[in-house]
Every structure is written in structure tokens, then in C-alpha cells.
């Protein structure tokens, strides 16, 4: 299935700044900060106790899911799921649209993410990612780094986690699915672990505001202005669908099969959005 589209450059969406929107933003921003820091500190204190591995994993899943749920509510996110997400231990792959993908998915299940190693050094975000049990990948650093990543994924699987990663390797505007990279699929292909495809489609609920600009975070868009425009919005909708597990005994074959499945589900959810808009139903 072809996913070729005409490339476009990211631009800031024209989100109207109304008195109500400004008030909404000024309330949301400090609340987001307070909730995030408060939960991170609480988890840091709880983690000092010598819990067993399984107990620690269960507490982390509970904490991260509650944090993500609160964030989604503060941002006005309405998450529409089609069948829900699979339980762990398993692997889940999905398209990558924005930093919003993380709290959206985490609010549905206390999952763990695989991320590029540079994120660990980002101010505040790196600390939060570590608290959430993120597995960091050193790309292009030889077999030793790859083995460390595989060992971390194996431990997460043994903890009963749903391990999520984004095989596109970058974010996009959400118009189409970018080519999947197969490197992180080595472990599930080798050991036969279940791998579930999933897809995320965002909607601003306002046909005048492009979700590929207001909600997607991609290209060279700067984070602070993008976040500011996000908190100005009354809210947004995320449609989330997970498919049946895909199996293959080679990572490249698995990547191709997963991409085919994600492309089909993505087209289905996008068509639903268009049909819904065409009904004239209130949003």
C-alpha cells in the first residue's frame, strides 16, 4: 500500500486567542506543571522503598497511568478507543504524531516507551521519562548498545509491561504513515513475542484548525509556542485503534506486515473522521 504524499513544511496553526482561551491557557499551564512535578516527586519517594521487582512495576504502572489520565483531562482530550489496548506483556507499535501520543497511550494502560537516548538529557522531560521507566536507545552505536536495548526490553516484558515504540523513528503531521524501521523488532521477531499494531488519529474538533499543525509536533516546530497553542484550544479528540497481533520470524518481514496493517487502520480512522464531519453533527 502506498503512503506517498506531497511533502509539506510545518507551520504554526492559527489558533484564535480569545479571552476564554487565554484564561484556559493561564489555568492549564501551571496545573500541568504542578501535577507533573508533584507526581514525579511522590513516585521518587515511593521508589526509595525496597519493593520487589513485580511490586515496583505494578506501582509504576498505576502512577504513570494516573498522571497521564490527569494530563489528558486538563488538556481537554477526548480519547475514543476501538476495542482498547492489549494487556502486557506484549509489544505495541503505532504511528508517531506528537508528544501527546505518550500521555494518550499511557492513560489507557501503564505502558513503557522506547525512546531515543537524547531524550534522557532533555531538561525535565528526560527526568520524567526516566521516572516512567522509559527504555532509551542509542542508535548507531554498534552491537553492544543494541544488546543493552534488547536486554531492557526483555526485562520490561518479564515485568508484564506493554512496551510501546514508534517504528517511524520520528513524528509527522499525521497525514500518512511514514516508513517503518525494523531495528527494534529484533527481540519480538526472534523470540516470538506478540506485537500489536495500533494507530492514532487526532482531530481539533474545528474544521478551521489543522490538526497536523495544532496537535502534531514535527519538523522544526519549537516546543514552547506549540504547547501554548495547544493549551489555548478548548480540547481535541484522539481516535485510537489497536489490531490483532502480527507474527513474523524476521524483523524486516515483521516491520512490513505491521506497516501494512497500520496503513489500513489509519485509512479507516481517517475516513471515519471525514464521514463524521460530513454529517454536520455538532462537535
Q: Give the Cβ contact number of residue 118 at 10 Å.
A: 12
User: Can you give the pLDDT at residue 12?
Assistant: 65
User: Can you give the pLDDT at residue 56?
Assistant: 85
- Whether 115 maps to a domain, the answer reads yes
- Whether 6 maps to a domain, the answer reads no
User: Can you give the pLDDT at residue 156?
Assistant: 86
From the list 137, 201, 135, the residue with the least C-alpha distance to 162 is: 135
pLDDT at 273 over 70: no
- Whether 25 maps to a domain, the answer reads yes
Q: Give the Cβ contact number of residue 124 at 10 Å.
A: 11
pTM: 0.87
- Whether 81 maps to a domain, the answer reads yes
- Whether 274 maps to a domain, the answer reads yes
Q: Give the Cβ contact number of residue 130 at 10 Å.
A: 13
Q: Between residues 7 and 84, which one has the greater pLDDT? A: 84
The rounded distance, in Å, linking the Cα atoms of 175 and 98 is: 13
Q: What is the strand order of the sheet 195-203 is part of?
A: 77-82, 236-242, 195-203, 90-94, 162-165, 112-116, 135-137
- Whether 10 maps to a domain, the answer reads no
Structurally, the chain folds into a number of domains equal to: 1
Q: Which domain holds residue 141?
A: 19-278
- Whether 107 maps to a domain, the answer reads yes
- Whether 23 maps to a domain, the answer reads yes
pLDDT band per the 50, 70, 90 thresholds, residue 8: low
**pLDDT, tens digit, 9 for 90 and up, residues 151-177:** 788 888 888 889 999 999 899 899 999
- In the numeric block, the cell 489497536 is attached to 242
Least confident of 48-52, 231-235, 260-264: 48-52
From the list 140, 163, 168, the residue with the least C-alpha distance to 153 is: 163
**pLDDT, tens digit, 9 for 90 and up, residues 95-148:** 999 999 999 999 998 899 988 878 878 777 777 788 788 888 776 554 444 555
Amino acid at each position: 500500500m502506498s503512503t506517498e504524499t506531497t511533502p509539506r513544511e510545518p507551520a504554526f496553526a492559527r489558533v484564535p486567542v480569545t479571552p476564554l482561551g487565554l484564561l484556559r491557557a493561564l489555568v492549564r499551564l501551571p496545573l500541568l506543571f504542578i501535577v507533573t512535578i508533584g507526581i514525579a516527586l511522590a513516585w521518587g519517594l515511593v521508589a526509595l522503598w525496597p519493593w520487589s521487582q513485580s511490586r515496583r512495576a505494578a506501582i509504576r504502572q498505576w502512577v504513570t497511568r494516573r498522571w497521564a489520565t490527569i494530563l489528558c483531562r486538563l488538556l481537554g482530550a477526548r480519547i475514543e478507543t476501538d476495542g482498547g489496548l492489549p494487556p502486557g506483556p506484549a509489544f505495541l507499535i503505532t504511528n508517531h504524531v506528537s508528544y501527546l501520543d505518550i500521555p494518550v497511550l499511557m492513560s489507557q494502560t501503564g505502558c513503557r516507551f522506547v525512546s531515543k537516548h537524547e531524550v534522557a538529557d532533555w531538561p525535565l522531560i528526560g527526568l520524567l521519562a526516566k521516572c516512567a521507566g522509559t527504555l532509551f536507545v542509542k542508535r548507531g552505536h554498534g552491537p553492544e548498545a543494541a544488546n543493552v536495548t534488547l536486554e531492557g526490553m526483555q526485562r520490561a516484558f518479564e515485568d508484564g509491561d506493554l512496551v510501546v515504540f514508534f517504528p517511524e523513528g520520528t513524528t509527522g503531521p499525521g497525514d500518512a504513515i511514514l516508513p517503518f524501521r525494523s531495528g527494534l523488532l529484533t527481540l519480538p521477531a526472534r523470540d516470538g513475542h506478540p506485537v500489536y499494531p495500533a494507530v492514532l488519529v487526532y482531530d481539533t474538533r474545528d474544521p478551521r484548525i489543522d490538526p497536523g499543525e495544532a496537535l502534531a509536533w514535527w519538523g522544526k516546530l519549537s516546543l514552547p509556542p506549540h504547547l501554548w497553542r495547544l493549551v489555548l484550544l478548548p480540547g481535541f479528540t484522539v481516535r485510537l485503534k489497536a489490531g490483532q497481533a502480527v507474527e513474523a520470524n524476521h524483523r524486516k518481514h515483521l516491520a512490513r506486515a505491521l506497516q501494512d496493517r497500520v496503513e489500513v487502520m489509519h485509512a479507516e480512522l481517517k475516513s471515519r473522521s471525514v464521514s463524521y464531519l460530513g454529517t454536520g453533527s455538532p462537535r
